[in-house]
Amino acid sequence: MRTPQERAARLLRWYPKAWRNRYGEEFAEFLIADIEERPQSAERALDVARAGLLARLAVAGLAGQHVAWQPDPGRRVQVSLGTLCGALTACLALAAALWSQLAIAWEWTLPTTATPPVMRATLVMSAAVLAFLVLIGLAIVPAGYAIARNCNVRMLGPLLVLAAAVSLLAFGGHHFLYQWPGSGGHSEGGTLFPVIPAGIQAFAWSLTYWFSVHWFWLTTGLGGWEVAWIVASPLALAAAVAAAATLVRRADLSPRLLAYETRLAAAACAVMGVFLGGCGYWVYVGRPPGLAHAGQLDIAAAILLALVLAAAYQAQRTALRGLQLVRG
Amino acid sequence: MPKRDGARPDADAGLAGFGRYAGPATLILSSLADGPKHGYALTKDVEEFAGVRLAPGTLYEALARLESQGMIEALEAEDRRRPYRLTAAGATALQAHLDAQRRATETGLRRLKANWGTV
């Protein structure tokens, strides 16, 4: 049987370190007194777990701008923006994976088997990805300038990781561009989707091959380098997401730039919402047979995308609320 | 919508923005109006005067919000227990909140009496 002290210490683990630094001792004392009075209480355990998880969401910038243990509102906005950056980058990766499969499928679909609804969905998704890339460009330029101007030692780590991950993705994506059947945008049969250059489609396919590999190539046998790429590319992508989020959190961004980036992020969330709408339409209308139908993995990825987008939206709302506090 | 019977549901500016924490916040501020208390003494006092036991997580969420809004302030810890004290801003907010509650209560009682003959 554990002592009240041990049980209080266990309950305290639900909370993040920043919270424990501020309230840990007094909360432990309170819990000990409460446990001595009511030794068994499922309600207490559930309440502490819920509050602890909420505190962790606040540390991640996804909730709670009214917290005494994170006193600087500007810093909290930046934390939210970092999470937002990571979530939107993850959204882009998932969107690229979904989009590239569909776009490549169009390259291999004969005009006679075309289904206009799926083509409409593809166009909506393509336009959304394009708009998203434009927004990323608009966000990166001023943020990159501010980071370059105020670069410090704490930012070197994430900068190096980001540079390495992006380099690996660019090099690998280009190297494996035409390595597999299905990539390469062969349009001899009369492409249905000539809007996007074949090379870009193939690059996106190559970058997200970890997503589509199970389709029909995994069982046919892959070379060592291909397998290494399939393992390394999602890891590099995850590292890039984490490094970008950390970089934004550690950068010294002015309130004006924070406001600008938050507004852009709101637009990016809306654009990704449009993509998700197009994706949902594709899942609904894209029935087999035919290459351009949505499989189980596509549906799972669309659900995951919706969840990550919800997290991004929540971080954006938290950042907006924080900005109101910064402005007093 | 016309206001009748003096009902002013929008007049509760005292704890505006507290959302679901408004209930615990009112109880905490009411308890601290009687003098500084630490967490456990607070819950015992609230239990005594309101018949509600504030769960530990809920209590500290509300305390953190109240502290960040300057409605209460933490005092020096005494033997690992930190007492909290009501501030002037907290007293004003509590007064406004309780005034709004009283108006709502009086309106409800008046309507009950007029239409149901109770009270």
Confidence class for position A202, pLDDT limits 50, 70, 90: confident
ipTM above 0.90, yes or no: no
Query: Residue B76: inside a domain, yes or no?
Result: yes
Same domain, A90 and A52: no
Q: Print the domain residue range for A216.
A: 74-326
CA pair distance A292, A4, nearest whole angstrom: 60
Q: Which of A29, A43, A67 to mutate to test the interface with B (most CBs of B within 10 A)?
A: A29
* H-type alpha helices, chain A: 4-12, 17-37, 42-59, 73-107, 116-149, 153-175, 198-207, 209-212, 224-250, 255-285, 296-326
Most confident of A58-62, A66-70, A101-105: A58-62
**Quick check: is B2 in a domain?**
no
A37 in a structural domain? yes
Shared domain for A50 and A184, answered yes or no, is no
Whether A99 and A178 have beta carbons less than 8 Å apart is answered as no
| A102 & A190 share domain | yes
Please state the separation of Cα A2 from the chain's center in Å.
41
In this prediction, residue A9 has a pLDDT band, given cuts at 50, 70 and 90, of very high
For residue A69, being part of any structural domain is answered with: no
Whether residue A65 is contained in a domain is answered as no
- Other Cβ atoms within 10 Å of B114 Cβ, number: 10
- Give the chain B residue nearest A49 (alpha carbons): B57
C-alpha distance from B105 to closest chain A C-alpha (Å): 29
Tell me how far apart the alpha carbons of residues A125 and A128 are, in angstroms, rounded to a whole number. 5
Contact A68 B60 (CB under 8 A): no
A188 belongs to a structural domain: yes
Least confident of A63-67, A225-229, B23-27: A63-67
Which residue of chain B is at minimal alpha-carbon distance from A26?
B81
The residue in chain B having the minimum alpha-carbon distance to the alpha carbon of residue A33 is B40
Contact B55 A31 (CB under 8 A): no
> What is the share, in percent, of chain A residues with pLDDT greater than 70?
82
Q: How many CB atoms neighbour CB A180 within 10 A?
A: 17
More confident call, A308 vs B79: A308
Predicted local distance difference test score (pLDDT) of residue A64: 67
Higher pLDDT, A187 or A124: A124
User: A51 with A79, same domain?
Assistant: no
Is residue A64 assigned to a domain? Answer: no
**CB neighbours (10 Å) of residue A39?**
10
Residue in chain B lying closest to A53 (CA): B57
What is the pLDDT at residue B103? 92
Segment A250-260 shows an average pLDDT of 86
| Out of B56, B69, B77, closest to residue A30 by CB | B56
Ranges A100-109, A225-234, B2-11, B95-104: which has the least confidence: B2-11
Please report which confidence band the pLDDT of residue A189 belongs to, taking 50, 70 and 90 as the band edges.
very low
pLDDT exceeds cutoff 60 at A259:
yes
Comparing A56-70, A108-122, B79-93, the range with the smallest average pLDDT is A108-122
Structural domain includes residue B61: yes
The DSSP-derived string for A149-189 is HT--HHHHHHHHHHHHHHHHHHHHHHHTTTSSTT-S---TT
User: Considering only CA atoms, which of A92, A77, A101, A59 is closest in space to residue A269?
Assistant: A92
Inform me whether the pLDDT recorded for A300 exceeds 80: yes
Q: Does residue A46 lie within any of the structural domains?
A: yes
As a whole number of angstroms, the distance between CA A127 and CA B52 comes to: 55
Whole-number pLDDT of residue A291: 58
Dump pLDDT digits (tens) for B2-28: 344 443 444 345 676 666 677 899 999
Interface of B with A (CB under 8 A): 17, 38-40, 43, 55-61, 64-65, 67-69, 77, 80-82
Sign for the CA dihedral angle at A58, A59, A62, A65 comes to positive
User: Among partner residues A25, A44, A69, which is closest to B56 by beta-carbon distance?
Assistant: A44
**Residues A52, A115 share a domain:** no
**Total tally of structural domains belonging to chain B:** 1
Minimal CA–CA distance to A85: which of A56, A54, A60, A55? Answer: A60
CA–CA min distance A35, chain B (Å): 11
How high is the pLDDT of residue B8? 41
Asked if residue B7 is part of any domain, the answer here is no
Domain total in chain A: 2
Looking at the domain assignment, is residue B89 inside a domain? yes
> What range defines the domain where residue B32 resides?
19-116
| CATH code, B53 | 1.10.10.10
B80 and A25: CB-CB below 8 Å? yes
Tell me whether residue B116 is exposed, middle or buried, using C-beta atoms within 10 angstroms of its C-beta: 0 to 12, 13 to 18, 19 or more.
exposed
Same domain? For A225 and A181 the reply is yes
CB atoms inside a 10 Å sphere around CB A110: 12
Asked if residue B12 is part of any domain, the answer here is no
Judge: B68–A30 Cβ closer than 8 Å, yes or no: no
Which band of pLDDT confidence, cut at 50, 70 and 90, is reported for residue B77? confident
Nearest Cα residue in chain A from B39: A30
Residue pLDDT, tens place only, B32-70: 999 999 999 999 999 999 999 999 999 999 998 898 888
> Tell me, what's the pLDDT at A268?
94
Q: Which of A47, A54, A57, A75 should we substitute to test contact with B (largest number of B Cβ atoms within 10 Å)?
A: A47
Least-confidence region, from A6-10, A17-21, A136-140, A199-203: A199-203
A50 confidence band (pLDDT: 50, 70, 90) = very high
Tell me the two tokens of residue B82.
């930190």
pLDDT (0 to 100) of residue B116? 85
pLDDT number for residue A67 = 62
In-domain check, residue B3? no
Q: Indicate if A132 and A34 belong to the same structural domain.
A: no
Count how many residues are written for chain A: 328
Would you say residue A217 lies in a domain?
yes
